[in-house]
Structure 1
């Protein structure tokens, strides 16, 4: 991207974000001078630092990680006090004076998207292709962000979705609106509407991966339908997405430039530049990139899930942290700035599409193609010398195999907590244990609290049960 384009993108974003104040959602997007041209709107979408960050807090609640007591003080300073509160399953993660970064960043993204979508209603420029591009991008980002929010701050989609409180869902730029929470079902209906419209107008390919395209719309639809338990639709859109982008890195081709100290040097075979990463379907990166590197380790349960020769563990774990200190008790640190668990994988990837297609097939009783999809992935994740094909005698066994692969492949991306929530609705009875603290299956705290600051500013928002 040219420097002049970057400068304009940043300038327009500052104009949008810092000229007024949306106090009721605790977002500080500003808008005295409103962008008005298609070039302005594209510049807003070009700023991936604003529209591509996604949530972190739910990762710290999962059973993927462990935090030793003697590392807690350092973790508070590095990852943030809210991360430790999430790890401890506390009732509140932020006090009334603090902003919940997951919430604030999400609603700022939505504000930017709404600014574009509202502005396009009055734009008369004769450039249909560019109009469709910026509109489609804004719709995809808004839909993805709403999907993330509703799965973080509301119950999982179920038979009671039409009455379960979801999230506030602004669709227009109105900084004075005191929006209540709409139902979970209403949020999903809007997500579906946005994505179907985006899929109809976006091109199949983009010049840069931070621009959503048709594959990104299909991929987000596939994830949404999976969460809804709509297996036919989940298969349909995962299949559409994977047919347009089926690239998956083969971890057997990766190696470390400094084998004796993985935290230094490079992971050879994996691109250092985000724009070169071919497996990205929708680029999103964790709000707290590198938030595990020093203090959090793989939990014992997570480590036990990997089989012999699984390169996901070998390539993404380290016995020493980034300062060179050896983790005690044989602990393995999480390298979320390397290939398998790269913080840039926080959005949607080709491997997730393969796993959604496999799960949908398994749920529908189509075990042979489901297992075939798992093997496409596992061949590129297990050392060749250790690789052996899976077998199963029932659709239920195949579902369990898919869920295990999701745990291994999508670790440290927020997917695990959502999978636990939907699994517990099926009676899987999964609890999370962090040291002396346990979060029992179906506990209300699987749903994160609405930020206290937001509730203090907007009396129409009701807190989640604690």
Structure 2
């Protein structure tokens, strides 16, 4: 079955699932549609990209990675809506009671689909254990990934107060009438861990497409979760387990622009344009960032200076930052139409560049940097540097490359964290990194124009949508 037809088929089935769950009095099967009851039906549901592929968007706008000048606000508002712009401006509320928070809605829709599959499998009597395991494992990974994303967007970061900190509602069954209160951060993490460990036991090591979770994907999400928990030993272990299954990294030194005279719109020779053909993606998730064709938001000066030392004080020149190909293939001084950006800004090539909006799931480069950070924190300095240097060697032209060195584990950790900021920019991970690093006293604030969000501000935690609270008075709002 062609992928397009699968998407169309699963969209129809999802509509039926949602409809029949709201109308329990319907006993007869509607004519002309397929109600998902077979293992193939559940596997098809797990391949619907619009239902299980989308991930958080608003978190991009609270970070020190981006700059959104006034000149581009109209286009930005027209694409993702006003909520992300309010996040960029550090406003207390992103959506009023009449507005929809797409991040929240998309996440709980994904969870609903996963729960529908898990519920259906409980009564399915087919004997194909391989298909059953695949459907169940995929549903568990998607549910776990989504809850991990939700709790890091709408709650405080995991810490020694997580047992009492408010997390997000845990919906683990198909019941639209259930109105749970917010579970604790610790409880959400415990459920994520439980789902992923179960999935890892039953999934195959590899899958045909990166949007279908496999054992490596389950291990990868576990590695991210353990990093966020500060469990360095397990973060290193599970990143290593995922990489032992799959470890492909693109070598940017082999890339070239197909149309050098139009770098802003040029394809990259050696880097596929199709998301499912990109070999570094372990678990495909995409975010609806502003960027792509119009580059409506730009690199912040701070972010760009990590890549390019020219604008910095020559006295602080760092030879390790010279000729970074992540600038060449990840940014452009022109919009897609060829118009130069104001104030010589650099736009994010997140559609046909290496800062791809499809990188919001699990990638091999994230796994390498997760393991490197964990190793540095475990005082295994050289092993941490080995990981970072193996990655950088594929990002810096050979003639300009030099290994990073560090005298102490603390120095190695700083190098890893800097590399993480460069390599994983615009993937949606930076907000969680800011929150967790500030817990250890790194004092990271974010400035957008004339406004500054100080380190550890409660506004680094996004507000629960007002509409959700109006429909469920068991949910309490975050401090603002």
With the shorter chain as reference, the TM-score category is over 0.9
Residues in 2 aligned to 1:7 and 1:297: alpha-carbon distance in whole angstroms: 35
Q: Answer yes or no: is 1:440 the counterpart of 2:454.
A: yes
SS in structure 2 of the partner of residue 262 of structure 1: coil
Residues in 2 aligned to 1:4 and 1:387: alpha-carbon distance in whole angstroms: 47
Residues in 2 aligned to 1:182 and 1:34: alpha-carbon distance in whole angstroms: 32
SS in structure 2 of the partner of residue 456 of structure 1: helix
Q: Answer yes or no: is 1:198 the counterpart of 2:212.
A: no
Mean Cα displacement is larger for which, 449-458 or 321-330?
321-330
Residues in 2 aligned to 1:310 and 1:102: alpha-carbon distance in whole angstroms: 33
Gaps of 5+ in 2: 24-32, 308-320
Contact persistence 1:75–1:295 (CA under 8 A): yes
Contact persistence 1:290–1:337 (CA under 8 A): yes
The 1:259/1:19 distance shift into structure 2, 3 A limit, reads farther
Written as runs of structure 1 = structure 2, the 5 A alignment for 1:293-442 is 293-306=294-307, 307-442=321-456
Q: Answer yes or no: is 1:238 the counterpart of 2:227.
A: no
Written as runs of structure 1 = structure 2, the 5 A alignment for 1:171-250 is 171-250=172-251
2:274 corresponds to:
273
Written as runs of structure 1 = structure 2, the 5 A alignment for 1:23-42 is 35-42=36-43
Q: Deviations over 1:322-360 (max 9, x none)?
A: 122101211011111134211110101001110011011
Deviation at 1:9, TM superposition (A): 2.1
TM-score, normalised to structure 1's length?
0.95
Residues in 1 aligned to 2:469 and 2:119: alpha-carbon distance in whole angstroms: 27
Contact persistence 1:96–1:451 (CA under 8 A): yes
2:26 corresponds to:
none
Gaps of 5+ in 1: 23-31
2:467 corresponds to:
453
Q: Deviations over 1:38-91 (max 9, x none)?
A: 111011011122101100101011100111122222321233211210100101
SS in structure 2 of the partner of residue 121 of structure 1: helix
Residues in 2 aligned to 1:383 and 1:256: alpha-carbon distance in whole angstroms: 15
Residues in 1 aligned to 2:449 and 2:114: alpha-carbon distance in whole angstroms: 41
The 1:301/1:62 distance shift into structure 2, 3 A limit, reads same
Contact persistence 2:79–2:290 (CA under 8 A): no
SS in structure 2 of the partner of residue 125 of structure 1: coil
Task: Please list every run of at least 4 consecutive aligned residues from structure 1 whose deviation after the TM superposition is greater than 4 angstroms.
Answer: 18-22
Deviation at 1:319, TM superposition (A): 0.9
SS in structure 1 of the partner of residue 468 of structure 2: helix
SS in structure 2 of the partner of residue 166 of structure 1: strand
Residues in 2 aligned to 1:40 and 1:356: alpha-carbon distance in whole angstroms: 35
2:97 corresponds to:
96
Mean Cα displacement is larger for which, 110-119 or 69-78?
69-78
Contact persistence 1:293–1:334 (CA under 8 A): no
Residues in 1 aligned to 2:266 and 2:301: alpha-carbon distance in whole angstroms: 27
Q: Deviations over 1:358-378 (max 9, x none)?
A: 011100000011000001100
Mean Cα displacement is larger for which, 420-429 or 80-89?
80-89
Deviation at 1:33, TM superposition (A): 8.2
Residues in 1 aligned to 2:83 and 2:141: alpha-carbon distance in whole angstroms: 28
Deviation at 1:272, TM superposition (A): 1.4
The 1:75/1:7 distance shift into structure 2, 3 A limit, reads closer
Q: Deviations over 1:233-266 (max 9, x none)?
A: 0010000001111100001111111112223231
Residues in 2 aligned to 1:4 and 1:303: alpha-carbon distance in whole angstroms: 42
Q: Deviations over 1:272-307 (max 9, x none)?
A: 122211111111011347468432111000011122
Contact persistence 2:292–2:352 (CA under 8 A): no
Contact persistence 1:78–1:291 (CA under 8 A): no
Residues in 2 aligned to 1:420 and 1:282: alpha-carbon distance in whole angstroms: 23
Count of aligned residue pairs for this structure pair: 457
